[in-house]
Amino acid sequence: MNDELAKPSWLERLGTLLLREPEDREQLVALLHSAFERNLLDADALAMIEGVLQVSEMQVRDVMIPRAQMDVVDIADSPEKFIPYVIETAHSRFPVIDKDKDDVIGILLAKDLLRYYAGQEFNVRDMLRPVVFIPESKRLNVLLKEFRSNRNHIAIVVDEYGGVAGMVTIEDVLEQIVGEIEDEYDYDEQEDNIIRVPDGRFRVKAQAEIADFNKVMGTEFSDEDYDTVGGLVVSKFGHMPKRGEHVAFDGLKFNVLRADSRRLYSLLVERQENEGAATTT
């Protein structure tokens, strides 16, 4: 019992290791990996510490949910029409638009719909919370601080021309710290959005731009309706796919490696000899 109490914690052992005073971020990361190799840190702790470091360098554009993948409610729709959609997508917050995604007029909290079910007087406009607009270039650590201070958990991302580029939630930011450890496909330091794996298939991040995908794959997908591969694939599914689902079209098969209820993260793409209409499984 006394020996156990005297044994230093992993944090104390890590602190001893860091007394070597790394001079830059690269040296700090190298020390962390050294600590991992010495079993001073487990894989989860290493991934989270690296995630914290990365958040300070990433921008909103790196993690936002693209415009094409945003689940929104149209103010013109009646509760009877949009509530089934709210239930199906299972989000806690929804951007509310006035006909077009460039015109986000507020945020609807799913819990506010309880008033409708309680038979109380219900008007969607009266339920809307103010919408926060942020630029694509905002740093994630700054955004996380703002989320915590104002208790707002969702923001609409706008591009340099004022158009809606996407949205970001506090979960999207925190996922950069704790979420990556859940996906065995993401535990590497590759920054490429399209990576060829040894068996000839391609691991593709959903945020990869269609233009880049076309260059690598020799395809000719249009980027007029969708900017990213994720937006294109979700449109072919017709719903937000789950891990393990796949869709085939234009001679390619897209297998979902990682996704949650509101966002597609990564795909495994393989070529098919027989081309045909899109099929999903």
Cβ neighbours of residue 78 under 8 Å, at least 6 residues apart? Answer: none
Closest among 129, 130, 128, 134 to 64, alpha carbons compared:
134
49 close to 11: Cβ distance less than 8 angstroms: no
Task: Quote the CA–CA distance of 276 and 202 in Å, as a whole number.
Answer: 20
Please compute the mean of the pLDDT values over residues 27-53 and round it to a whole number: 76
Question: 112-126, 147-161, 229-243 — which is least confidently predicted?
Answer: 112-126
264 close to 206: Cβ distance less than 8 angstroms: yes
pLDDT of residue 5: 53
Closest among 186, 223, 224, 220 to 208, alpha carbons compared:
223
Confidence category of residue 176, pLDDT binned at 50, 70, 90:
confident
pLDDT of residue 198: 73
Sketch out the chain's domains with CATH numbers.
25-57 (no CATH), 61-178 (3.10.580.10), 194-271 (3.30.465.10)
Confidence category of residue 116, pLDDT binned at 50, 70, 90:
confident
First to last CA, the chain: 55
Task: Quote the CA–CA distance of 150 and 29 in Å, as a whole number.
Answer: 32
Locate all alpha helices (DSSP H) within 151-239, ordered by sequence: 170-174, 210-217, 229-237
pLDDT of residue 187: 38
pLDDT of residue 97: 95
Percent of the chain with pLDDT over 90: 33
Task: Quote the CA–CA distance of 150 and 131 in Å, as a whole number.
Answer: 12
What's the CA dihedral at 215, 217, 218, 222 to 10 degrees?
-70
* Average pLDDT along the chain: 81
Q: Which two tokens stand for residue 222?
A: 């249009």
Residue 28, Cβ neighbours under 10 Å: how many? 17
